[in-house]
């Protein structure tokens, strides 16, 4: 908990880990989230994301692209949950119909189809953070 200039107690902004091998997409998502008060960690692949996850004390949401070289987003989510079992996951993909078929693990993963509107991303992110950290634990966020 921090105290802002007006002496109001607030929680630190939620931390979101954004993983996408496309630097432009990752950068856009990061910019959008930061402009709405989220703290953002970013990685270009699963290995980098897992290193960040091992170092981070708390990650409130994992946003990952499904289609990445070496390790896809679903496998990343499985590995990520070994150290962050309660953290929600938002999977972003341009091939959601294919992704839904035969993947039993998707009941624990929210999906967002590419291309998406910025508002859709923010709505999904906020909903997942609110479910993970419901009121009254969640107060207003502090901005650094």
CA–CA dist 94, 114 (Å, integer)? 5
pLDDT tens figures, 33-79: 999 999 999 999 999 999 999 998 789 999 999 999 999 998 999 99
Looking at the domain covering 12-97+105-142, what would its CATH class be?
A: alpha beta
pLDDT for 47 equals 97
List the domain boundaries for the chain.
Answer: 12-97+105-142
Lowest mean pLDDT among 1-5, 19-23, 34-38, 107-111: 1-5
């Amino acid at each position: 908990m921090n105290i802002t200039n007006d002496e109001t107690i607030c929680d630190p902004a939620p931390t979101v880990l954004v993983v996408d091998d496309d630097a432009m997409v990752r950068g856009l998502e990061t910019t959008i989230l930061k402009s709405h008060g989220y703290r953002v960690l970013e990685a270009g692949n699963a290995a980098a994301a897992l290193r960040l996850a091992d170092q981070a004390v708390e990650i409130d949401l994992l946003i990952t692209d499904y289609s990445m070289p070496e390790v896809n987003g679903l496998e990343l989510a499985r590995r990520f949950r070994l150290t962050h079992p309660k953290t929600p996951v938002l999977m972003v993909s341009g091939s959601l119909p294919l992704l839904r078929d035969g993947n039993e693990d998707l009941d624990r993963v929210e999906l967002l189809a590419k291309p998406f509107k910025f508002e859709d991303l923010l709505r999904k992110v906020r909903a997942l953070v609110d479910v993970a950290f419901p009121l009254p634990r969640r107060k207003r966020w502090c901005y650094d």
